[in-house]
Structure 1
Amino acid sequence: MSGISSGVGLATGLNINEIVDAIIGVQKNALVKLSSRAQAFEATEGGIKTLEANLLTLKTAVQKLNQESTFETLKATSSDTQQFSVAANSTATAATYQLQGLQTATNHQVISNGFPDTDTTPIGTATTITISNGGELNQSRLLEELNNGAGVQRGSIRITDRDGQTEIVDLSKTLSIDDVVNQINQSATSVVASIQNDHLVISDTSSGSGTLKISEVSGGKTAADLGILKSVVGPSFDGDSVYRITEEFKLSQINDGNGITTVSGLDDFQILASDGSTFDVNLDTAQSVGDVVDLINNHASNGGNITAAVSSNGQLTLTDNTGGAGSFTVSALNGSLAARELDIETTGTGGVITGTLSGGLNSVLLRNLNGGIQSGGPVLNAGSVYIEDGAGGNATIDFSSAKTLDEVIDLINGNGSIQIEASLNQAGTGISIKDTSAASGTSIEIQDVSGNLASTLKIDTLLADNKHTVDSGSLDLRYVNQNTSLETYGKNGTEIPSGSVRIIDRDGTSFVVDLSDPETTKTIGDVLTKINDAAGTAGAQINARLNDTGDGFIVESTGGSSFDVKIEEVSGGSVAASLGILGSGTTGITSRQTTEISIEATDTLADIAEKFNASGVASATIIDDGTAFNSSRLSITSSRSGAGGELILESDYDFGFSTSVEAKDALIRIGSNPQTSFLLTSSTNSFDDAITGLEIDLLSVGDAPSTINVARDTSGIKTTIKSFVNSYNSFVDATDSLTGFDPETNQRGVLNGNSLIFNITSRLEGLLTKKLSVSNNSIKSLSELGIVFNSSGKLQLKESTLDQKLADDPTAITEFFQQEDHGFAVVMDEVITSMTDPFTGTLKAQTDSLQASALSLNTRVAELNEILEARRQRLIEQFTLQETLVNQLNSQQTALNRLNASSDK
């Protein structure tokens, strides 16, 4: 059978494809017209979607004009950008401040003695270096704590020594009483300041015979507030008392900042009057010293028998008014330490009990040494001590009245029978006793006669010990207590994360302690309570308490012997490691704020530096000072900035560490007048909590205050208005493109002649030029803000007009855009929404109609295509059949011709 694969019939020679296409093409004209109409609908729909996209962009810009934050956002600026970097957040308020940077925060740095080389010569002695950031016995008070909390008006004082030499000393930058003493002692006069208990002592070291005088400068009251506004003929004078505990003091501020330890839900102490009457006191609700006084005086069972008060010298005083013949005593109940920490756990004398609540201006209470009475260490009992100097001079000194370390030192130094000098040791964590008799070949002796003061202070020594100087080493001042915050307990002052720990006692009993609730886990005391409660519930032989060295706590075994005590993390947490209790121990595990570095006799300077770097609390480098001998030195830098990062380094080996960079907090003054301003500190150079809503970074010390201005961010408002103008102009560009006509190409925009665009642009233009009914407002139209139409139908912004309005009345601009129901942004947002709403908008109705029409036409086109294709197939089949018939006829004709040819022969 003959084929037509080439489109041309072999039998007929006809181009069948062309013939079929021609026949179908005539019938396809109607389909092309339908398809063109569908494409037109789709193009129109695409144009409307483009229009809608531009309207939505404009809507976003309009909505920004209706946001409160657009006009209420504040911006902070500094007049001295070299001194401060400032930023305002959402909680800031418009105001102007005067700030001056007085000092930037520093990291403590110390340098050792020189060593022969870096990595060859070993130090030759095994030792341990302890590193801590607390435990110093000189606890200087802040000036704001003085004068019953009224503080000190900062300014300058004039000092005149007995030789007539005068100098003005600037105390406007001093933060603590120690700062005051240091500034006075650095003056060029012969005047020396020192601290004694609750006041300053001013002494003259010159040989003059004139008047020793301290006076005010420029009408200030700094000297008076410091208690040293005096003039005397003698060589010294005692200042007035400037520090004492009052009823307003929080309990967390007394007892060297350790507060008091109560027993929740139980009575803390019992008061026994001399007439035999008693009552028990519960301090659960007490927050201040005044609360303690009130709980005693107002106790239902007191009835006026006992009067509690804070005396004029700051002591807690209990007076027995019963006049009985018995003893007047206060005794602890239920294991509470509160009475002892208030210093009233005793028997009264003459019907009075007095408790010392503070170490004074810069000393510490004896009861807080050796870990304090909250630890398991020995209780200090101050009695009599025998002291003999190198020359044989001796005295037995009664220390029973001493409550503070300074009082112990003063009693030793004030005894004329011995040539002994007592002072704080070089590290500031202990006491040093030095023989000043200049006797050769002899030593000093210090022994307890009664009590245990010498042994507890670790200064007891015999003549046979052959010592001319006795250094107690660290006296383990309690500075971590029940109230210590977990926010700063971690290494280098970091916060302890939340989580749980698993503790296993020596018998293998395991229990989990949940420390994940931030509301109930805020302090070390909370941690101890939760451990002990969980241990009790589990029946485990574990007890948690403050440690014996004053710098942390211990989780210890109370029984069992099979295993070590073990503490583990739970669910991949890190709370145990952060608390310093991760691991195991035979009798327990101790958490300390102190880091110990073990030094071997074979260690070189490089080895020691490596161990410091591995500690995580300090970094070490080796420097060469350039000298001919022993030029290699260790330079140790604290990892923690600010005063809290001061490194207290102690070791039996004399490394000769000396401070090269002091540990200092950043210090700023708020206010331009030192007499009325106040100072703020930060361990970093950031003061984000100094002024509400302001993030302040100190960049450098300033010679003068910087003006910090917090005002409405007009640049942000301008940016938002410009964005609105640009969005509208983009909309105009889009409409021009959609409705335009190019005469050169004879091309029209897809929405050319469409009434929809005309209606939309007319509504928007009308609103943009309309004077709105914004009540009680000076601005009624966009043109008053400098927003007007140009000749091309676009908006333009006259920035000078807007700037003037922003400067004159920014509130009126806010009202114009945002007034309820009438504001421009409110109304325009409603108009655009009516056009673009995805359910009810004008554009939605148009696109739905166009989509329906296009779909209907495309459906009909598809149907017609199927019909025409079927017709094409029929025609091809018919032509194919025709070819077959013609071919058959041709074959028959050929056969006949052959027959005819044969018959002719």
Structure 2
Amino acid sequence: MGGITAGVGIFSGIDTQSLISQLLAIDARPKILAQRRIAQLQQQSAAFLDVNSALLALKTAGDKFSTAKTFKSASAASSNPEALVATAGTSATPGTYEFIVNRLVSTQQQLSRGFTDRDTSGVGLTSISFEQGGGALATDTLLSSLNGGSGISRGKIVITDKSGASATVDLSTAVSVNDVISAINQADGVNVRARVEGDAFSIEDLSGGGGSLTVANAFGYTTADSLGIAGTTAGSTLSGSQIRTVTGATPLALLNDGRGVLIRDATTSLTITDRAGNVVNVSLGELTSTTTDPETGDPVTTVTQSRASSIQDVLDYINDQAATAGASITASINDAGTGIKITDTSGGGGNLTIVNAAGGRAATDLGITADVAANEVQGQRILAGLNSTLSAGLLGGAGFVDTEFTITDRAGNSATVNLDASSLTGSVNDIINDLNDKLSAAGVLANIKVNSAGNGLAITDNSGGTGNLIVAGAGATALKLDTAGVASNNHNGGNLQSAWLSRATRLSTLNSGQGLGTGTIRITDAAGTTTSLNIGSSIKTIDDLIGLINGSPVNVTASVNANGDGIQIVDNTGITSGTLKLEDESGSVLRRLGLKGDFTDDGFGTIAAVGSFERELTFDPSATLDEIVNAINAQGVGVTASIINDGSGVTPYRVSLTSTNSGSKGKVIIDTHGFDLGLSTLAEGRDAVAFYGSGDPAHAIVLTSSSNTLDNVIQGVTIDLKRATNDPVEVTVTRNTEAIETDVEAFVEAFNRVLTTISKYDKYDAESEVRGVLLGDSTVNNIRSRLLSAVQGRGVGVTSEFEFLFQAGIKIGSGAKLEFDRDKFREALEADPEGIEQLFAASRLAPRNPIEIAPGVTVNNTGRDTYTELGVPGVIADMVKSFTDSVDGLLTTKSKSIDSAIDLQEGRIDQYDAILASKRARLEAQFLAMEKAIAQLQTQSSALTNFGG
């Protein structure tokens, strides 16, 4: 017999499987109870997860008041959105602010003369250069820099010419010297001409009348006085007083045409030795001292001297340190008001010497280097005259010493003249005026001016002759104006390379204010030595960058290039067959400096990478307009080139060159090196100008920007200029109560959602007699109780008259739910906005002191955060954190407890299954034995029956 194979015994006819199942069902009752318990526990777990989710939403809503600065929400409205639009951020201060939009930003655009075609004929241009950032000889001096940096008093002046005609000239919106000149020269009713002469204005009468020329302040203004032109003269020219001066307030960054002064911290900047031999090592940088904290033993660093940033700082540091060193030295403003004077009162018989510290150039930058047997050094000019640049900055900052010019006009008039020594150390305008005065006196009918590119000099012949215009002499050669003779009335000199970059230049000012960015550069010298240097945020100046490179293992020297418009890196290995490799591993620092690439011997035994912000392109004379334009656009030279067909005559094709950057920062010097491209200016790169704080621009603050956006004029408010207008525009910044109310309501809803969620699981339905899965659970009852207590309680450290949420319109209403009364909230917010903000959004952590675990041994305190100030929603959010913390939160602990209970029940079920399986096997074996016995009995019975038959 093969055993039982069906539910019913073959011999007994008994349904053994059903009988066994019935017998086991009685024993399986504990397992069923365990399974039911697991289901109950799983329902509780899901309920707690639901409660946890609602609590987390409440925490987010509570935290938002402090983290999202809800009560700092503001909105800004403009009285004339067509002229000005304002956007307020969370740091905006409510108030009403007044603006006048004087002009929008403009971008430099130049247009060439016409050409017959664009893609067939060669233009003839062989080279063109673009320089963005500096290099111009003529400038437009800001009025704010005049009078030693105190600026001028804007307003109105009254001019009366010699014919007796009078006009009121409004200079209320003037920002620069050229604004003043244009306004005066374009004034209706009077015939005068304004111009600059050195450090002052001059007004020339053109009326030819016999009276007096008078300039006076208009009633209520002092503008003429501040411009130095108030006065009367019987002559034809009223010469103003000096207004371009150096004073104690003059910023060092303004000196040397913006190149500033190289100052390093914690070291000597310059050394002065008085005539008695007393030496003073002057430090102009930041100095510190380090002491030991008597309580902690930690070093404490204190700044004892801040870095000099103004002329007054320099004077004070020299005088104080000289007194300390016992040197009889006094620093002051020089007699001309253009630099610094050093006076020696020692009475000694030696030389007064002033030298740079090793590797520095502070004395040079301040114009006071000297080695003289004199008691006084009148420092060189360090601030250029009006609308000009320094002569000492020419030729890359090397200046020049040759003074002789021999000039022959086209009519044959000739003279040899020499520049005054003062012109060599003065301004470019001094050179021009000096030459023109001497040529005029000598009867040569030619005059000197700035060339068409703006980076050199030019000479114009006014004789009407037909001969050659000739310019010779060592001075003419030095200033790149010499010519053996041109049969033209105009001759443009070469680029005088006016320096505008120095070691003191901040990297953030380069590339039209876009800086160099950060990154890692790799330098490999000709010997194969390689280094990678990180150019991070700590590298702030050209000096920092040069110092980093020169201090690296590679055998190179970095410096400012000879033209003063970039950086050069020279290989010092002497291996002329090698290659200097400069690579950007990350970022684009070298590319932006024009230094990226491989560099080999220049043919003279030197391997050098010469970077420059002047980018020159060369062409074959056969290059077409299209080819020139494509090359310009491909090289990224700071302008965008395009071809315009104006439809005129036989030469309709013109090249348009537009700066890639707007405003004054986007100005580009375009030099065609003698080729007549016929460039004319369609638009100058001018900054946007607005006036802030008053409906009268004369009494308002001048705001300028290289874009039509003004940031941080009003804290937290962005101003976008849309259109110029003479009428004031009001910007009203108010608290964004709607946003505040929305967040308060969201908090109330989140709070109520927690209570609703808890109630959903902690209830008894008498009608259906259904119990909630968390009915009577102490955890949710505790959470509900604590939340209701907290929402009716005080915050931490809240000291305003509003201590409770119900005072701000939030109270417990019907059904034990929070209710939000918007009207009451608005009244409270209007009555005490700071108090309501503190009630809701206060958040200040208490100091967390280290824990001493042994004498002198401390560890960080990693305990829970505590607060000295915390608003009520913050208190609730912090409480919720204690409920939901993933490590030791109340719900986390509860969840772990439920999981453990489920694990326990599942373990019991496994035990029950094992017992039942064992009992089933035993019963099946017993029934099998019974079937076998019955089978044997049946066999025996059959045998007996047969035997008896």
1:525 has 2:556 as partner: no
Q: How does 1:215-364 map to 2 (within 5 A)?
A: 215-217=216-218, 219-259=220-260, 282=281, 284-285=283-284, 287=308, 288-290=310-312, 299=322, 309-317=333-341, 342=367, 345=370, 353=378, 355-364=380-389
Alignment of 1:573-612 (within 5 A): 574-582=588-596, 583-586=598-601, 587=606, 588-612=608-632
Structure 1 match to 2:665 = 644
Secondary structure at the counterpart of residue 135 of structure 1: coil
Asked if structure 1 preserves the Cα contact closer than 8 Å seen for 2:583 and 2:590, the reply is: yes
Q: What does residue 520 of structure 2 align with? A: 499
| Structural mapping, 1:452-851, within 5 Å | 452-463=474-485, 466=487, 468-490=489-511, 493-505=514-526, 508=527, 510=529, 512=531, 514=533, 516=535, 518-519=537-538, 521-534=539-552, 540=555, 542-557=556-571, 560=574, 562-564=576-578, 566-569=580-583, 574-582=588-596, 583-586=598-601, 587=606, 588-616=608-636, 617-651=638-672, 652-672=674-694, 673-701=696-724, 703-708=726-731, 714-740=737-763, 747-752=770-775, 761=784, 764-765=787-788, 768=791, 777-817=800-840, 824-825=872-873, 828=876
CA distance in 2, matches of 1:509, 1:43: 72
Query: Once structures 1 and 2 are overlaid, which stretch shifts more, 600-609 or 884-893?
Result: 884-893
Q: Deviations over 1:538-581 (max 9, x none)?
A: 6x4x4433323231232235673532551323755643333322
Q: 1:285 to 1:811 in 2, by over 3 A?
A: closer
Matched, 1:433 2:459: yes
Contact (CA 8 Å) 1:739, 1:753: kept in 2 or not? Answer: yes
User: Where does the alignment leave 5 or more consecutive residues of structure 1 unmatched?
Assistant: 374-378
The Cα of 1:431 is off from its aligned counterpart by: 0.9
Distance in structure 2 (CA, Å) of the matches to 1:788 and 1:294:
64
Check whether the contact 2:115–2:653 (CA below 8 A) recurs between aligned residues: yes
The answer to whether residue 126 in structure 2 is matched with residue 126 in structure 1 is: yes
Match of 1:135 in 2: 135
Residues 244-280 of structure 1, C-alpha deviations (whole Å, 9 max, x = no match)? 122443444333333456899678577786xxx6666
Deviation at 1:472, TM superposition (A): 0.8
Specify the structure having the higher radius of gyration (Cα).
Answer: 1
Q: What is the distance in 1 between the residues matched to 2:904 and 2:764?
A: 29
How far residue 602 of structure 1 moved from its aligned partner, in angstroms, is: 2.7
CA distance in 1, matches of 2:349, 2:886: 94
Q: CA deviation at 1:111?
A: 1.9
Q: Which stretch has the larger CA shift, 351-360 or 468-477?
A: 351-360
Distance across 2 between alignment mates of 1:759 and 1:372:
79
- Match of residue 367 from structure 1: 392
Match of 2:445 among 405, 408, 419: 419
Structure 2, unaligned runs of 5 or more:
286-307, 844-867
Contact 2:173 2:698 survives alignment (8 Å): no
Q: Deviations over 1:161-218 (max 9, x none)?
A: 4556555443333222122222333333433211110111112333555554444345
**2:8 aligned residue:** 8
Shift of 1:679: 1.6
Greater mean alpha carbon deviation, residues 322-331 or residues 609-618: 322-331
Tell me by how many angstroms 1:27 deviates.
3.7
CA separation in 1, counterparts of 2:269 and 2:59? 68
Alpha-carbon separation, structure 2, partners of 1:233 and 1:827: 81
Note the 1:89-238 alignment, pairs <5 A.
96-162=96-162, 166-189=166-189, 190-209=191-210, 211-217=212-218, 219-238=220-239
| 1:563 partner amino acid | S
Name the CA distance, whole Å, in 2 between partners of 1:436 and 1:346.
45
Q: How many residues align?
A: 879
Distance 1:337 1:350 in 2: 23
Shift of 1:513: 7.4
> How far has the Cα of 1:354 moved from its partner?
5.6
Aligned counterparts, 1:380-419, within 5 A = 380-401=400-421, 402=423, 403-414=426-437, 415-416=440-441, 417-419=443-445
SS in 2 for 1:621: strand
Is the 2:408–2:469 Cα contact (8 Å) retained in structure 1?
yes
| Paired amino acid for 2:397 | G
C-alpha RMSD of the superposition: 4.1
Which amino acid is 1:437 matched to?
Answer: S
Distance 1:284 1:28, change over 3 A: closer
Q: 1:742 to 1:199 in 2, by over 3 A?
A: same
Question: Using the alignment, how far apart are the partners of 1:558 and 1:760 within structure 2?
Answer: 75
Equivalent residue, structure 1, for 2:927: 879
Give 1:551's aligned amino acid. Answer: D
After TM superposition, the structure 1 = structure 2 runs for residues 48-67 of structure 1, keeping only pairs within 5 Å, are 48-64=48-64, 67=66
Shift, 1:641, TM fit: 2.5
Distance 1:485 1:411 in 2: 35
What SS does the aligned partner of 2:148 have? coil
Distance in 1 between residues matched to 2:878 and 2:818, nearest whole Å: 20
Equivalent position of 2:858 in the other structure: none
Shift of 1:649: 0.8
CA contact (8 A) 1:99 1:668 kept: yes
**Which SS does the other structure have where 1:483 is aligned?**
coil
Give the superposition deviation at 1:754.
Answer: 5.5
Amino acid at match of 2:107: N
Alpha-carbon displacement from aligned partner over 1:418-439 (angstroms, at most 9, x marks no partner): 1112111111111111110001
- Could you list the per-position Cα deviations for residues 311-365 of structure 1 after superposition, in whole angstroms to 9, with x for gaps in the alignment? 1543544567799999988788979766665176586899875633332112222
Q: Is the 8 A contact 1:270 1:333 kept in 2?
A: no
Deviation at 1:799, TM superposition (A): 1.1
- What is the TM-score normalised by the length of structure 1? 0.85
Q: Residues 778 and 894 (structure 1 numbering): CA distance in 2 closer, same or farther, change over 3 Å?
A: same
Q: Tell me the distance in 1 between the aligned counterparts of 2:362 and 2:797.
A: 67
Change in Cα spacing, 1:8 to 1:117, as seen in structure 2 (3 Å) is farther
CA spacing shift, 1:2–1:447, aligned 2, 3 Å: closer
- State the AA in 1 paired with 2:569: V
Aligned twin of 1:376 = none
Deviation at 1:604, TM superposition (A): 1.6
Letter in 1 for 2:809: G
CA–CA separation in structure 2 for the residues paired with 1:174 and 1:248? 22
2:562 counterpart letter in structure 1? D
Q: Is the 2:518–2:537 Cα contact (8 Å) retained in structure 1?
A: no
Question: CA offsets, 1:447-470, max 9 Å, x none?
Answer: 32xxx321111122335x545432
Asked whether the 8 Å contact 2:114–2:651 carries over to 1, the reply is yes
Aligned to 2:78: 79
Measure the CA separation in 2 of the matches of 1:593 and 1:510: 28
For 2:779 and 2:360, the matched residues in 1 are separated by 85
**Contact 2:54/2:753 (CA < 8 Å) preserved in 1?**
yes
Greater shift, 235-244 or 254-263, is seen at: 254-263
Q: Which moved more, 1:858-867 or 1:828-837?
A: 828-837
Structure 1 674/308 Cα, relative in aligned 2: closer, same or farther at 3 Å? Answer: closer
**Aligned twin of 2:292:** none
Shift of 1:19: 2.6
How has the CA–CA distance of structure 1 residues 348 and 840 changed in structure 2, closer, same or farther, with 3 Å as cutoff?
A: closer
Q: Which amino acid aligns with 1:870?
A: S
Answer with 418-427 or 333-342: which moved more. 333-342
